[in-house]
Structure 1
Amino acid sequence: MSVEAVFPELAPYRARTTRLHPRPGRPGVHDSHVGGPMLWPEGEPWPLCHEQHQRESEGYAPEEIRSARAAGARPASRPWPPVGTPGLDGPVPFVGLAQFFRRDIPGLACGPDGADLVQLFRCPFTHGPYLERRYRLWWRHAGRTEHAERFLTDPPHVPMLRWEDELPEPCVLHPEEVDTYPWAEDDTLPASLIARIDAWDDAQVAEHGPDAPSYQYDLSIPPGWRVGGFPSWASTGPMAIDCESCGTPMRLLLTAEGDEMDAGSHSWVPLEDRDPTLRGKASIRGGRSVAQPTRLRFGRDRDLLVFTCPTDPGHPPRWVLS
């Protein structure tokens, strides 16, 4: 179904986004990936979180998580290590979640001074009474970095994670460019157009039932990891994201999501991953390696939206769980 055939007024709002389609694999340091080894020169300090972290009662050892996943089982939790355990008390190493090269991913924005490699990190523990997360973006010039004499092969890591979904599954990427359109709520589109979209959605449900296609989930914004395009505001509603340094409206650099597909986004499921005779979640084929390949979670099954400043990419990014 062509969304512009139904709503021609959307044509001026069309934007491109690159779906990353992560799948479990064996990416290398020179590859764009989720959960693989970072291109990190040996001797360069690994990012650490210096904030206070809450001690837990139990958790999961990373090597046991990997073994359980390989066996198709769930890992067993373990008592939290004693006070003074290296990597848990004091500064904590960030976990490398992903890295992306512009040469691999159409539409990936440049970083400071034209940097063309971005690396995403997350502190494995929560902070404060509201269980906030800490993320880091690390920008590099790929050509310069790739000429380093040696690369770090065993980065610092924590011996225990609070949750299994803190450890990313190494995934290779299969980038695909698609057209996307804004989330239809509040003032993201003209009010008259949003009213037409809402009326069309209601008519589809009345005619085809609860599995009918809808604008928000089937026609506007795809699920899963993606670069550029429009943010999905399913949990929070639309928000104005401005640069805290200069006040410029920020652009969406990256969306990270735990689920690559779900029952509400049937039309975005790749043809090879669905049963054409079924609808909704039942149609998805391939199991967890297709539906939840990275094994990561962001908030309560939310999207992690990473925004950067288009005026100066060196200004601090902003992180939104939507």
Structure 2
Amino acid sequence: MTRTTPARPVSVEVLFPDLAAHRGRTTRLHPRPGRPGVRDSHVGGPMLWPDSEPWPVCHETHQPETEGYVPDEIRSARAAGVRPSTRTWPGAATPGANGPVPLVGLAQFFRQDIPGLAPGPGDADLVQLFRCPMTHGSYLERRYHLRWRRAGEIGRAARTSPEAPMLRWEEELPEPCVLHPEEVDTYPWAEDDTLPAPLIARIDAWEDAQVAAHGADAPTYQGDLSIPPGWRVGGFPSWASTGPMDIDCGSCRTPMRLLLTAGGDEMDTGSHSWMPLEDRNPSLRGLASIQGGRSVAEPTRLRFGRDRDLHVFTCPADPGHPARWVLS
């Protein structure tokens, strides 16, 4: 099934003609629970990994834990529609507690499936995103890993992948999701110097007038007109938590490009207007029209930080330079 973003509540370029010069494109991925295959673009499905190559692991020291979840019990609980039970964390000598921990495959995208997906080093056409399921250091930092490949060079694929015997949070285990890519127009986050100052001032004044006239349900630029929520490729980063940041390559200092955004939620109360038409009851309006429950609002079951977006940036001068990760 395709997914179709509804028309915006108001035409942003009619309101602010200057924005036409800043228009960009992003590909909304619209993940929905399903059964993706190893050679499909997906979130949470089986990764296309060479049978002859060791699975990536994290060798760093991890924060000690007292309780957690068994992956298979998470899967069983989700199938039954209940919360999984916690278990006492194994002793320090248990593999995966303080030793090497297998990374969790979060997503993979083939360029042939995803409009706007930037090529990788050596014209790689497959990008894979991994995360260590454990936390690091006193600030509970996370470790991510980006792997580029040329899909046609992968011979025999591994049938299974290793996983940690326990996870600290249920949200460490992605729900396998198929994708429904859709390109949409987007506009930069309006704060600091992301847009000309006079234009930002006009946007702010318009938002204030909307709230004064229509209350909390009034459309806003940030929530309804600029950047859609959820998983997407390309486009502009949202800066709701941190404010705009300059992201430069650590190797050559080139300003980096947003490769993809991973979001835990496909909507919230301030962004529900982006929910596709196919996930709505046409006889209802607003937030009440959205149907599908958690499989639509939180399809991947993943979390990034405290309900933030994970922005993955790469270097346009050399995509082989290390990626950068920003939670915002």
What band does the TM-score fall into relative to the shorter chain? Answer: over 0.9
Matches within 5 A, 1:252-263: 252-263=258-269
Measure the CA separation in 2 of the matches of 1:248 and 1:123.
Answer: 28
* 1:241 lines up with 2:247 in the alignment: yes
TM (normalized to structure 2)?
0.95
Measure the CA separation in 2 of the matches of 1:65 and 1:304.
Answer: 23
Amino acid corresponding to residue 252 of structure 1 in structure 2: L
* 1:125 lines up with 2:134 in the alignment: yes
The corresponding residue for 2:91 is 82
* 1:188 lines up with 2:197 in the alignment: no
The corresponding residue for 2:206 is 200
Check whether the contact 1:308–1:317 (CA below 8 A) recurs between aligned residues.
yes
Shift of 1:51: 0.4
Check whether the contact 2:109–2:126 (CA below 8 A) recurs between aligned residues.
yes
Measure the CA separation in 2 of the matches of 1:93 and 1:39.
Answer: 16
The corresponding residue for 2:285 is 278
* 1:293 lines up with 2:299 in the alignment: yes
Measure the CA separation in 1 of the matches of 2:161 and 2:98.
Answer: 17
Shift of 1:45: 1.1
Shift of 1:275: 4.2
* 1:113 lines up with 2:122 in the alignment: yes
Q: 3-state SS of the aligned residue for 1:210?
A: helix
The corresponding residue for 2:234 is 228
Q: 3-state SS of the aligned residue for 1:209?
A: helix
Q: Which 10-residue stretch deviates more, 266-275 or 154-163?
A: 266-275
Amino acid corresponding to residue 47 of structure 1 in structure 2: P
Shift of 1:84: 1.8
Measure the CA separation in 2 of the matches of 1:142 and 1:12.
Answer: 36
Aligned length: 318
Tell me how large the CA RMSD over aligned residues is.
1.0
* 1:100 lines up with 2:109 in the alignment: yes
Shift of 1:267: 2.0
Unaligned runs of 5+ in 2: 1-9
Measure the CA separation in 2 of the matches of 1:72 and 1:258.
Answer: 19
Amino acid corresponding to residue 81 of structure 1 in structure 2: P
The corresponding residue for 2:4 is none
The corresponding residue for 1:37 is 46
Check whether the contact 1:211–1:279 (CA below 8 A) recurs between aligned residues.
no
Measure the CA separation in 1 of the matches of 2:276 and 2:123.
Answer: 33
Amino acid corresponding to residue 202 of structure 1 in structure 2: D
TM (normalized to structure 1)?
0.97
The corresponding residue for 1:265 is 271
Distance 1:275 1:208, change over 3 A: farther
Q: 3-state SS of the aligned residue for 2:225?
A: helix
Check whether the contact 2:273–2:286 (CA below 8 A) recurs between aligned residues.
no
Check whether the contact 1:101–1:116 (CA below 8 A) recurs between aligned residues.
yes
2:163 to 157, 165, 172: 157
Q: 3-state SS of the aligned residue for 1:208?
A: helix
The corresponding residue for 2:5 is none
Shift of 1:54: 1.8
1:6 to 6, 15, 30: 15
1:48 to 49, 57, 66: 57
Shift of 1:87: 2.6
